[in-house]
Structure 1
Amino acid sequence: MTKQAGGPLAGIRVVEMGQLIAGPFCGQLLGDMGAEVVKIEPPGGGDPMRDWGQGDPKTWWRVIARNKYSVALNLRSADGQADARALIAEADILIENFRPGTLEKWGLDPADLRASNPRLIVVRVSGYGQTGPYATRAGFGGIGEAMGGWRGIVGYPDLPPARMGVSIGDTLAATYGCIGALAALHHRSVSGEGQVVDAALYESVLQVMESLIPEYAVAGTKRARSGSTLPGIAPSNVYPCRDGEYLIGANQDMVFARLCDSMGRPELADDPRYATHLARGERQEELDALIADWTRSQSVAELEERMIAAGVPAGRIYDAETMLADPHFAAREAIVTVDDPVRGPTPMQGVFPKLSATPGSIRKPAPIEVGEDNDVIFARWLGTKMER
């Protein structure tokens, strides 16, 4: 199979008017797949994401703004709104993650934009969606995680709800917004018509909550915080070693038997207390304690060697340091190095998912200056020079 350069979305033009994470991550996904993404930023400071992240220098912007061009427009002014309309008239997709009603207030109502450009797809990411009694409320990712059910089940039962160390609500909404845009592109290829994609933070979280709703509605069971385990799924936990921790997932019958063999306790696989999925779930704490007694006597490396040989799904708890040192990440280009004009070679996550015929790529580092691409984009898209 011959690979085609540029990615599957080569030739697609995207205007990104969002800020922070949810809208811009959607733009990153489309840009990684080959779309030309023009990010509209407010003059001066630009997107606050330029100053987000840990360490010095800040590098989060280098990831979320890659493959994008920066155009500075004041969307609160008539001139800025006119320039935005001109660019959107040439675009295939518009992304925005402002509070519902903001675009309309700026004279950029999607209905009017689509009247001028019927093929336009508008991805609207917001806390609660574009309709409903909560639509106009301010909603950040953490609020969506709470309302969608995520926060309520993360952490330990004797402690307040915890959060993940990443902005999962924002990135889920961005991902669903991207999926919606791709579906809308297919529909447009058949009908010639664009449409509006409505991606709410709380609903994006709700989509990954598995059977939480029917478990309660049908069986009256409420999921609760359970720490590092999933109730009834055993053994599947992080276990202590002499020099660290190691995750083992051996909850299927045949896999559990292989784990028992590697422990030197093959009889446990036939023990009525542990022989079935339901039995192991009922004795979850007891079984975890038994396995932990065995793993404590081994180093992480020793345990890993045993698990690989036995064919038991297991793995180390990775951090950035171990990821950068792992040959599997390098072999699959899960981490790539981008030559940043300011910060030099900058490792970051690669393009994902991987397509065999039209792979995406990181073609351009994140813009350094706010509005640095004004002239090139106005010339390329509109055949004119930006006067303001």
Structure 2
Amino acid sequence: MMNTATNTGALSDIRVIEMGQLLAGPFCGQLLGDMGADVVKLEPPGAGDPMRLWGLGEEKVQWEVIARNKKSVSLNLRVPEGQALARRLIATADVLVENFKPGTLEKWGLAPATLQAENPGLIVARMSGYGQTGPYSDRAGFGGIGEAMGGWRYIVGEPDRPPSRMGVSIGDTLTATYGCMGVLAALHVRARTGKGQVVDAALYESVLQVMEGLVPEFDHGGVIRERSGSILPGIAPSNVYTCSDGEYMIGANKDEIWRRLAEAMGRPELADDPRYATHIARGKNQAELDSLIDAWTRTLTVDELDRLMITCSIPAGRVYRAPEMLADPHFAARGAIVEVETERFGPLRMQGAFPHLSQTPSGVRSPAPSRVGQHNREVYGDLLGIGGDELATLTAAGVI
């Protein structure tokens, strides 16, 4: 079990107040919590964060990942009493994470400038569809919209079909990751200056950042990237190929690796064939080369091909689903999959904390809170000195 009371994470001295719901803000909070931060999540009284009900299957377990290493505090941010309590909590914090529509914090009297007047070292990480400025800033934005406007959706899928999507909310998690990076950079600056700042992470910009040469290719040469199915145009061979009993990924696009693959296929002459001898030539003849390799892999099982690729030192790997990940000893040895003792489901395996730090390791120290407001007494009592009677009054009034 990877539940430990000892916090040796790099951010063990950092307190984070997490506002917002669903994915971008909470995933940023998860990353910071995995690295040791004390994350206090504010949830609406009653139902709490809708993420509690997200995921596949009869029992929704996605919450167990995104809310690990967090404390749940119920708070109604839509009433003045709740906003006042939020200001008091934020005054004790190093970082505030939020992913509301721009202007929401300001409407609640929680503008970053106001909060930083009381807490000059506060870092405010703001995640939104289009950023805090610009003509689109007040538009509603979800991850899929950011993926569309950032260029991702247009190039994903088969050329003869409408744009497809990745099976996870990549726009949200990219934005959360960039938001987390911004927080870490801002903490570094604060160590020098003592001053906090605002981190402004937009969904569409986060997607745009990973689009490689998409913009300059058009700007310089008029090239528009199109949907290309399972390949990256011009990079060959690098694809998923069919075996007699499954699918297998091979990445042999580098010249010397391609030569080794040709030898492994029993066709060493292909390495010097003018159609395939160079990176440019293989890119031009990509479909033909992929068909040739696929015809060969179909004669092998996945196990046979895997052993051959390892022997020949060719970058390659099985196409994994969750069952294969859970069974793989390398995943276990690296802590890529950990078992967490959850309150609702008992032992539950999930992805581990990443990245690996040699001196201040990240980890899963506590399971996701099973109840909204589970840590009200602890947080309100320890941080704000609010006693039981006052908590009861605030609860009855719907403030917490």
TM-score higher than 0.5: yes
Give the match for residue 346 of structure 1. 348
Q: Secondary structure at the match of 2:158?
A: coil
Q: Secondary structure at the match of 2:247?
A: strand
Of 356, 359, 362, which residue of structure 2 is paired with 1:360?
Answer: 362
Q: CA deviation at 1:341?
A: 1.9
Give the match for residue 144 of structure 2. 142
> Which AA in structure 2 matches 1:307?
M
> Which AA in structure 2 matches 1:184?
A
Q: Secondary structure at the match of 1:261?
A: helix
> Which AA in structure 1 matches 2:156?
V
Inter-partner Cα distance in structure 2 for 1:324 and 1:236 = 26
Give the match for residue 37 of structure 1. 39
Give the match for residue 104 of structure 1. 106
Q: CA RMSD in A?
A: 0.9
> Which AA in structure 1 matches 2:161?
L
Of 168, 182, 185, which residue of structure 1 is paired with 2:184?
Answer: 182
Of 281, 284, 287, which residue of structure 2 is paired with 1:282?
Answer: 284
Give the match for residue 332 of structure 1. 334
Percent identity, aligned pairs only, is: 68
Inter-partner Cα distance in structure 2 for 1:38 and 1:346 = 23
Give the match for residue 225 of structure 1. 227
Of 265, 268, 292, which residue of structure 2 is paired with 1:266?
Answer: 268
Q: Secondary structure at the match of 1:6?
A: coil
Give the match for residue 30 of structure 2. 28
Moved over 4 A (4+): none
Give the match for residue 131 of structure 2. 129
Whether the 8 Å contact between 2:343 and 2:369 is mirrored in structure 1 is no
Inter-partner Cα distance in structure 1 for 2:182 and 2:343 = 34
Q: CA deviation at 1:346?
A: 0.5
Whether the 8 Å contact between 2:36 and 2:363 is mirrored in structure 1 is yes
Q: Secondary structure at the match of 1:223?
A: coil
Q: Secondary structure at the match of 1:346?
A: strand
Q: Secondary structure at the match of 2:124?
A: strand
> Which AA in structure 1 matches 2:302?
V
Q: CA deviation at 1:235?
A: 0.6
Q: How does 1:367-382 map to 2 (within 5 A)?
A: 367-382=369-384
> What does the per-residue CA deviation read over 1:241-294, in whole Å, with 9 as the maximum and x for residues that have no partner?
100111111001000000001000001111111100001111111111111111
> What does the per-residue CA deviation read over 1:155-210, in whole Å, with 9 as the maximum and x for residues that have no partner?
01100000000000000000000000000000000000000000000000000000
Q: CA deviation at 1:5?
A: 4.5
Q: CA deviation at 1:382?
A: 2.3
Matched, 1:163 2:165: yes
> Which AA in structure 1 matches 2:386?
T
Whether the 8 Å contact between 2:72 and 2:372 is mirrored in structure 1 is yes
Q: CA deviation at 1:110?
A: 1.0
Give the match for residue 117 of structure 1. 119
Matched, 1:72 2:74: yes
Give the match for residue 3 of structure 2. none
Inter-partner Cα distance in structure 2 for 1:145 and 1:362 = 30
Q: Secondary structure at the match of 2:101?
A: coil
In the superposition, relative to structure 1, how do residues 74 and 5 fare at CA in structure 2: closer, same or farther (>3 Å)? closer
Q: CA deviation at 1:56?
A: 2.1
> Which AA in structure 2 matches 1:232?
G
Whether the 8 Å contact between 2:7 and 2:365 is mirrored in structure 1 is no
Q: How does 1:184-223 map to 2 (within 5 A)?
A: 184-223=186-225
Q: CA deviation at 1:25?
A: 0.1
Uncovered stretches (5+) of structure 2, i.e. residues with no partner: 1-5, 395-400
Matched, 1:248 2:242: no
Inter-partner Cα distance in structure 2 for 1:342 and 1:351 = 21
Whether the 8 Å contact between 1:234 and 1:251 is mirrored in structure 2 is yes
Whether the 8 Å contact between 2:91 and 2:115 is mirrored in structure 1 is yes
Whether the 8 Å contact between 1:5 and 1:358 is mirrored in structure 2 is no
Give the match for residue 85 of structure 2. 83
Inter-partner Cα distance in structure 1 for 2:386 and 2:11 = 25
Q: CA deviation at 1:66?
A: 0.3
Q: CA deviation at 1:384?
A: 3.2
Give the match for residue 302 of structure 1. 304
Q: CA deviation at 1:112?
A: 0.3
Give the match for residue 323 of structure 1. 325
> Which AA in structure 2 matches 1:188?
R
> Which AA in structure 2 matches 1:93?
V
Q: CA deviation at 1:380?
A: 2.2
> What does the per-residue CA deviation read over 1:53-96, in whole Å, with 9 as the maximum and x for residues that have no partner?
00121100000000000111110111101110000000000000
Inter-partner Cα distance in structure 1 for 2:289 and 2:62 = 41
Inter-partner Cα distance in structure 2 for 1:27 and 1:273 = 50
Matched, 1:60 2:68: no
TM-score by length of 2: 0.95
TM-score by length of 1: 0.98
Q: Secondary structure at the match of 1:38?
A: strand
Matched, 1:92 2:100: no
Alignment: residue pair count = 385
Inter-partner Cα distance in structure 1 for 2:125 and 2:138 = 17
> What does the per-residue CA deviation read over 1:123-151, in whole Å, with 9 as the maximum and x for residues that have no partner?
00000000000000000000000000000
